[in-house]
Structure 1
Amino acid sequence: MDVKAEGFAVGVVGAGAMGQGIAQVALEGGCKVVLHDAKPGGAEAGRELIFGRLDRLVEKGRLQADAVAGMKESLSIAPALADLGSCPVVVEAVFEDLELKRSIFAELEKHVAEDAILASNTSSLPIAAIARNCARPQRVAGMHFFNPVPLMKLVEIIKGPETADDVAVALAELGKRMGRTPVTVQDAPGFLVNMGGRAYTTEGMRLIHESVATPAQIDAVMKECCGFRMGPCELMDLTGIDVNYPVSMIVYEGYLHDPRLKTVPLHKALYEAGRLGRKTKAGHYRYDNKGNVLDAPSPDHVTDAAPAATVSLAEPDAALEKFLGGLGVKITASDDGSSPILCAPIGEDATSVAVRTGADHRRLVAIDLSADISKRITIMTAPGADAAARDSVAALLAKDGCKVTAIKDSPGFIAQRLRAMIGNLSCEMAQVGLASPEEIDLAMTLGLNYPQGPLAMVDAMGTRATLRVLEQLQALTGEDRYRPSLWLRRRALLGLSAKTAG
């Protein structure tokens, strides 16, 4: 199938937001589009919205007026599914209802050519289930775009168990023609991006559930220390709890309750309470009519304590000693019995460090040096800690304008836990062959706007350090939620990159 041919026609079933976006990028790619919607007048209304967006692109100078005029002529309306019969590719973009999709595909098979490709824009339903009753399941695949389609460059091409290789190749080429970057993925719950994206939000929720940190603290650390555009809590509020909670449950149940994909009761409580985020003006935060956060809580630990003049180390640590050297604080060779005791653990909590080293847990302050600390630095203390010791360290760290976030005791702080969980889940996707390491990183950066691919994130942390964080989390919590992927363990033990194939 020559998807690059002039006048190549793409049928689109469903003229809602996703269908409109798919039709628009197909038109911009030089395809003809035949648009169908079951609702009377739905396709016509969708057409007008598409034309309006194209006109605005002309106003902004991004498209030429004559080119848009040609695009408008290339869009036609199909009153019935039978009118899509001449299209070599039909993309279904209706809402997530398995029986509805099956009925659409069954009807399309009566009218399209034998070599026509039928693709579903489903974000969560298995392609195998959609194609189950099709006469020719080998021509059925997933073509999962991301919302808003014109802005999101990724498209997942999902191969069902019977999808022919040439069908996946043709859809990937069509995706390129539409200006998208295709990533070919095996059929699995949540596919690649929706499965891989579970770690960021569910581990953020876990930190709140454990009373380790507030949503504002978690979001600030992930943005300012780890380079994410949005923290997990504000991201959930933006996409909607009514979207991310059901998807989390679909993926969790689809993977037969793998604890690495489990969410927490608070997530369900927000969903059932109707605190869905910006759309309801309340989620993790409260919002005004314009989507601005009301009474935004501060993630900063502010104190008027005097900066610590003298500290000791719980154990030798060259990186921590070098960092403290830049602050001009005196480091005593041994504990003087009154000064704060500092440590910079990887994976451990302050309690574990105190027990292992014999340090006085009341004066022990743990500092996270694992991420970017130019703008914000995270500290934590064990239960029963002396607030004066904590505050004197916070004041020391804030001397040069750096903001400080003080959290409760947690194996791996905030940044280590979240990045390790993101990386571990992506290592597992590589382990089971969901996609190649390169495609996993590409998809997660394009589909979720991560600052770097999750496997690259593991390499930046260090495979051994990432493994240590997970091992400590699993040991200290007793939860298999944190069990390391074999992909990660083997590469960490061998000193290899997380992207190493084989």
Structure 2
Amino acid sequence: MQDMNAAGLSLGVVGAGAMGTGIAQVAALGGIEVRLFDTREGAAAKSCEGIAGRLSKRAAEGKMPADEARDAAARLNAAGALADLSGCDVVVEAIVEDLEVKRSLFAELEAIVSSDALLASNTSSLPIGAIGAEMKHPERFAGLHFFNPVPLMKLVEVIPGPDTTEAVVEALTVLSRRLGRTPVRVKDTPGFLVNYGGRAYATEALAILQETVATPAEIDAVMRDCFGFRMGPFELMDLTGVDVNFPVTRFVHESSFGDPRLRSTALHRYMLETRRLGRKSGRGFFDYADGAARPSADAPGDAAPARSVFVHGDAPILKDLVGDCGAQVLDADDGSSPILAAPVGEDATAHAVRCGVDPRRLVCVDTVGDMSKRVTVMTAPGADADGLASVVALLSAKRAVTAIADSPGFIGQRIAAMVANLGCEMAQMGLAEPADIDLAMRLGLNYPKGPLELADAIGPRVVHAILSELQALTGDDRYRPSQWLRRRAALGLSALQP
């Protein structure tokens, strides 16, 4: 086996699509001789020319040294036949996601490359063990899953199969670092780590939409403003494309024997069937036609603001919020003023019944998450519309307000708890080390916090309480808390505690 830091290391890439081209580019920049092959006539040469052009442009713009761009371009070679990869020390496959096609390719490669060459697949979903099951030497084979666009995305998942040696895992880890990537060792499981863990953010948003709790614009705004996500779940699905995210979601759900935590909705499939794919089709959850206006997430605050409110329960943060907005916090319910409460996991209906407060005057406020930019409020069926409008007007004086229909866990609690819970389940399953789970999710999905960090930020006991209430109120095992989470919540430990 060649030293992955050797000056003369050569890398073969099979597949000159977006992923293969990106892998070839970062390898050339890492000082590695690259041979790129594609079965399509002229595709590999065109890819090499495209990389050289982009590097030259970056150099001209002063974004990289000219000699570095020139030297990297010189390391790129288009292979005319698969046999031209015979001298490569490592070969990475980046072709169609078809198990039999990949198996056939690796059978050919095994007959071509030297006995100590390493073989790797960039598959995003197919089991590494299944791809290597018919190989003569599966011990030198592993997954090396890059993320698109490769030059920008720093994460690489290193996935050993059942026969992969530790020396091969270590070599591919070293190679990943040479390519300027951050490697994370991941267990061979459906969707690996990021594609598995990323299901919660979108699917819970889809569940909230299906229940007509809120609109896509409202859900996105809450997750951006209150939980720090760079993009809301519907913006993100429109960006990646429903034709990409729905098949991955379906694959992970089916491969996990229908685990309800990973379940999507009929609307998700309908978007695919009607070709409302997102930005690429001009219409998805939002309209991307020229001049199309983005729906507002803000409740109108043009009513007369409430002058006094009663805050039910021990909620000092809610009292501070009301006081900051200029209203009086009553010492006792006067029978006519709005009643504010901050339930965790409950909806307004359940909270009103459990606490014996007037559901017509009750306005629930989500105090989990950042309230400096936006506040989420909800009411029970039959609530007084004027009372809600007065509370919205009051809170709108200092921040945006999103008013939603009754929902256990509001919007933010539900989505954040589901993201955290799935991270805990990944830790329970041993998909990676707890800290690596967070690292991979931050790098692979641009999450502001990893799921276990998110659990700690909210508090494991609070996350567990949210999920327990959701499960009890809905009767849906989708919300069953991970045993990893339950134990750490019960013991008062960090979610990152092994």
TM-score range, shorter chain: over 0.9
Trace 1:107-146 onto structure 2 (pairs within 5 A): 107-146=108-147
Q: Are 1:414 and 2:411 counterparts?
A: yes
Which 10-residue stretch deviates more, 469-478 or 164-173? Answer: 164-173
| Cα separation, 1, equivalents of 2:43 and 2:216 | 40
AA paired with 2:374?
R
Displacement of 1:54 after TM fit? Answer: 1.0
| Equivalent residue number for residue 170 of structure 1 | 171
Trace 1:16-95 onto structure 2 (pairs within 5 A): 16-95=17-96
Identity among equivalent pairs (%) = 58
| Equivalent residue number for residue 364 of structure 1 | 362
Trace 1:195-274 onto structure 2 (pairs within 5 A): 195-274=196-275
Displacement of 1:319 after TM fit? Answer: 2.6
| Equivalent residue number for residue 151 of structure 1 | 152
| Cα separation, 1, equivalents of 2:13 and 2:185 | 21
| Equivalent residue number for residue 334 of structure 1 | 332
| Cα separation, 2, equivalents of 1:24 and 1:231 | 31
**Cα deviations by residue, 1:328-355 (Å, 9 ceiling, x for unpaired):** 3222232222110110111111111100
| Equivalent residue number for residue 375 of structure 2 | 377
Match of 2:461 among 456, 460, 464: 464
| Cα separation, 2, equivalents of 1:46 and 1:190 | 28
TM-score by length of 2: 0.98
| Cα separation, 2, equivalents of 1:17 and 1:365 | 50
Matched residue SS, 1:186: coil
Q: Are 1:323 and 2:321 counterparts?
A: yes
| Cα separation, 2, equivalents of 1:283 and 1:322 | 40
| Cα separation, 1, equivalents of 2:410 and 2:60 | 48
Displacement of 1:42 after TM fit? Answer: 1.1
Displacement of 1:60 after TM fit? Answer: 2.3
Displacement of 1:13 after TM fit? Answer: 0.2
> Which runs of 5 or more structure 1 residues have no equivalent in the other structure?
none
Displacement of 1:95 after TM fit? Answer: 1.7
Runs of 4+ in 1 over 3 A off after TM superposition: none
Displacement of 1:294 after TM fit? Answer: 1.7
| Equivalent residue number for residue 496 of structure 2 | 499
AA paired with 2:344?
I
Displacement of 1:268 after TM fit? Answer: 0.6
Contact 2:11–2:89 (Cα < 8 Å) also in 1: yes
Q: Are 1:441 and 2:428 counterparts?
A: no
> Which runs of 5 or more structure 2 residues have no equivalent in the other structure?
none
AA paired with 1:212?
V
| Cα separation, 2, equivalents of 1:73 and 1:328 | 67
TM-score by length of 1: 0.97
Contact 2:86–2:113 (Cα < 8 Å) also in 1: yes
| Equivalent residue number for residue 299 of structure 2 | 301
| Cα separation, 2, equivalents of 1:200 and 1:59 | 40
**Cα deviations by residue, 1:48-93 (Å, 9 ceiling, x for unpaired):** 1111111122122222222222222211222111111111110001
| Cα separation, 2, equivalents of 1:59 and 1:369 | 50
Matched residue SS, 1:355: helix
| Cα separation, 2, equivalents of 1:313 and 1:64 | 62
Q: Are 1:349 and 2:347 counterparts?
A: yes
| Cα separation, 2, equivalents of 1:151 and 1:59 | 19
Displacement of 1:316 after TM fit? Answer: 3.1
Matched residue SS, 2:296: coil
Matched residue SS, 2:207: helix
Displacement of 1:159 after TM fit? Answer: 1.2
Matched residue SS, 2:150: coil
Contact 2:51–2:73 (Cα < 8 Å) also in 1: no
**Cα deviations by residue, 1:180-201 (Å, 9 ceiling, x for unpaired):** 0011101000000000000000
Aligned pairs, number: 497
Matched residue SS, 1:225: helix
Contact 2:92–2:121 (Cα < 8 Å) also in 1: yes
AA paired with 1:420?
A
| Equivalent residue number for residue 487 of structure 2 | 490
**Cα deviations by residue, 1:208-227 (Å, 9 ceiling, x for unpaired):** 00101100000011111111
| Cα separation, 2, equivalents of 1:252 and 1:126 | 15
Displacement of 1:449 after TM fit? Answer: 0.3
| Cα separation, 1, equivalents of 2:173 and 2:336 | 65
AA paired with 1:253?
E
| Cα separation, 1, equivalents of 2:409 and 2:225 | 17
| Cα separation, 1, equivalents of 2:283 and 2:424 | 34
| Cα separation, 2, equivalents of 1:310 and 1:349 | 23
Matched residue SS, 1:110: helix
| Equivalent residue number for residue 477 of structure 2 | 480
| Cα separation, 1, equivalents of 2:325 and 2:217 | 27
Match of 1:391 among 381, 389, 392: 389
AA paired with 1:276?
L
| Cα separation, 1, equivalents of 2:316 and 2:302 | 29
**Cα deviations by residue, 1:401-432 (Å, 9 ceiling, x for unpaired):** x1100000111111111110000001000001
Contact 2:283–2:289 (Cα < 8 Å) also in 1: no
Displacement of 1:98 after TM fit? Answer: 1.2
Displacement of 1:140 after TM fit? Answer: 1.1
Contact 2:216–2:285 (Cα < 8 Å) also in 1: yes
Matched residue SS, 1:385: coil
| Cα separation, 1, equivalents of 2:459 and 2:143 | 35
| Equivalent residue number for residue 182 of structure 2 | 181
RMSD (CA atoms): 1.1
| Cα separation, 2, equivalents of 1:330 and 1:138 | 70
Displacement of 1:307 after TM fit? Answer: 0.8
Displacement of 1:313 after TM fit? Answer: 2.4
AA paired with 2:299?
H
Displacement of 1:323 after TM fit? Answer: 2.7
AA paired with 1:173?
V
Matched residue SS, 1:447: helix
| Cα separation, 2, equivalents of 1:431 and 1:60 | 47
| Cα separation, 2, equivalents of 1:162 and 1:477 | 43
